[in-house]
Amino acid sequence: MKRSLFPLLASLLALAPLHAQLTPGDRTAITRGLDARAAHFAGIAQQIWTFAEVGYQETQSAALLRDALRAAGFTITERVAEIPTAFSAQAGSGGPVIGILGEYDALPGLFQEAVPRKQPLRSTTPGHGCGHNLFGTASAAAAIAVQQWLAEKKLPGTVRFYGCPAEEGGGGKIYMARAGAFRDCDVVLHWHPGSENRASVATSLANITGKFRFRGKAAHAAGSPEKGRSALDAVMIFTHAVELLREHVPQTTRIHYVITNGGDAPNIVPSFSEVYLYLRSPDMTTLDAVWPRILKCAEAGALATETAHELELINSAYNTLPNDALARLLDRNLRVVGGVTYSAAEQAFAEGLRGTLAAEGLTVPKPGTEATIRGIDDGIGYGSTDVADVSWLVPTAGFKTATFVPGTPGHSWQSTACAGMSIGHQGMMVAAKVLALSALDLLTDPAAVAAAQQSFSERKGGQEYRSRLPAGQKPPLNYREKGN
């Protein structure tokens, strides 16, 4: 009901001067204020990089950001959606309410020191290969800058930071949305570490993910194999059926999996095996058709091997709903702030990293690309994110900044290294400035909020959001642990 009033409200307010809109002097003061605290926020990002906590286990990382926001005068709501590491932090009063998303989960098996050479792989040691240590910190820095400006100017409006756990496959925001965390929000902004500076109206892939578990009967693999029922055989039949299925699904479909438990010893018929599988597509309706066929593949594996099977549904994220008006706003402020310029030490680091990228056959952009602001991205992103579910509930838009050396792929040892040193910190502060300026534009200009609401309605086109996660499902707090 409230959102439907925004076009009328904007029309009425357009008749009067908007004296609170940001002046060039305001913008300069805000960005200089963030520059003055850059070392402070770099320290927070570095601590989170060191913690490297995986989804739903980000106890220290969430606490660090929560404490920084509380110290800045924010009111904290803990355990959002009954998730120990989810929280919100709010400052100001009245409308509009502008949300800023923050993430802080790491990825398993991506340990890497902040050096331009690959370190020995530690299969179980997490690392920030997606730069979420930078993501959460920049968003918090922006929220604090907005709060301070509103208080100084004595203006109405609310800024709310969302501490969002387990973006990497755990669907934290989906459960937060289900709990009503975004219900009264007018606009949500976010960003993401990357290897370029670019606002986006790109969509992402919807996904459904789950752990398929097979239970059989153990036996001596040589002495009495006939008495065993192999859970691993069930997994192999299941995954073979999935491979054959690839020929008979839409070309944009992605199916990928890992065998997280294949047994304990070759001379024991495995009584338990587990596969963690992702299914992705540009739209949720395609998944609705393909997912039941995946389930039949699992049934076939169990039937052929006389084993039992079960599914733990882990996540189901929507495809992102773009917002044209917000993307243009973010693009304008990204161009105001500009990209980054490397110091001599950073340039040497970048050159070392570029050598490793070239050796791996990757395209290496020319030096200086990190300072370039590219045009708005309007393609399809082939990753998935739970930000997408938020985008179907409230006008949402994001952008990337060059926190990684241009050409660096995400979820790599190179991106982990960049996220743990000054190249990552520089790009992080670009993001903090863009978020702060954009949030304040929305807080001081009702027409900007109305435009975002209009884009939201047009893009949604009457479609209704319906999560594919069962209504009573609890957050998978242990999804990073292997089953047994």
- Residues 420 and 276 reside in one and the same domain: no
- Residues 302 and 377 reside in one and the same domain: no
- Residues 423 and 363 reside in one and the same domain: yes
Q: 473 in a domain, yes or no?
A: no
Predicted confidence at residue 122, as pLDDT, reads: 76
- Between the alpha carbon of residue 269 and those of residues 216, 272, 357, 360, 401, the distances in Å are 9, 9, 43, 39, 50
Predicted confidence at residue 20, as pLDDT, reads: 64
Coil vs helix vs strand at 399: strand
Predicted confidence at residue 481, as pLDDT, reads: 86
Domain with 227 in it: what CATH number? 3.30.70.360
- Residues 13 and 92 reside in one and the same domain: yes
Distance CA 200, CA 327 (A): 6
- Residues 169 and 307 reside in one and the same domain: no
- Residues 151 and 300 reside in one and the same domain: no
Tell which residue, 325, 335, 321, 337, has the closest CA to residue 445: 325
- Residues 407 and 443 reside in one and the same domain: yes
Q: Work out how many domains the chain is built from and give that number.
A: 2
- 361 - beta bridge partners? none
Distance CA 154, CA 137 (A): 26
Predicted confidence at residue 180, as pLDDT, reads: 96
259, 294, 316: which is the final residue of a domain? 316
- Between the alpha carbon of residue 147 and those of residues 69, 141, 188, 226, the distances in Å are 10, 10, 16, 69
278, 301, 316: which is the final residue of a domain? 316
283, 316, 349: which is the final residue of a domain? 316
**Cα dihedral 11, 15, 21, 23 sign:** positive
Predicted confidence at residue 15, as pLDDT, reads: 37
Domain with 13 in it: what CATH number? 3.40.630.10
Q: 466 in a domain, yes or no?
A: no
Q: 271 in a domain, yes or no?
A: yes
- Residues 27 and 154 reside in one and the same domain: yes
For 405, the token pair is 């050396």
Q: Which DSSP letter does residue 256 get?
A: E
DSSP 3-state helix, strand, coil percentages of the chain (rounded to 5)? 45, 20, 35
Q: Kindly give the pairing relationship between strand 396-402 and strand 187-194.
A: parallel
Q: What is the pTM of this model?
A: 0.92
Predicted confidence at residue 484, as pLDDT, reads: 56
Distance CA 237, CA 302 (A): 8
Predicted confidence at residue 483, as pLDDT, reads: 65
Q: Which DSSP letter does residue 400 get?
A: E
Per-residue pLDDT of the chain (484 residues; tens, 9 = 90+): 344 444 444 443 443 334 468 999 999 999 999 999 999 999 999 999 999 999 999 999 999 999 999 999 999 999 999 999 999 999 999 999 999 999 999 999 999 999 999 998 777 899 999 999 999 999 999 999 999 999 999 999 999 999 999 999 999 999 999 999 999 999 999 999 999 999 999 999 999 999 999 999 999 999 999 999 999 999 999 999 999 999 999 999 999 999 999 999 999 999 999 999 999 999 999 999 999 999 999 999 999 999 999 999 999 999 999 999 999 999 999 999 999 999 999 999 999 999 999 999 998 998 899 999 999 999 888 899 999 999 999 999 999 999 999 999 999 999 999 999 999 999 999 999 999 999 999 999 999 999 999 999 999 999 999 999 998 899 999 999 876 5
Containing domain of residue 36, as a range? Answer: 3-204+319-460
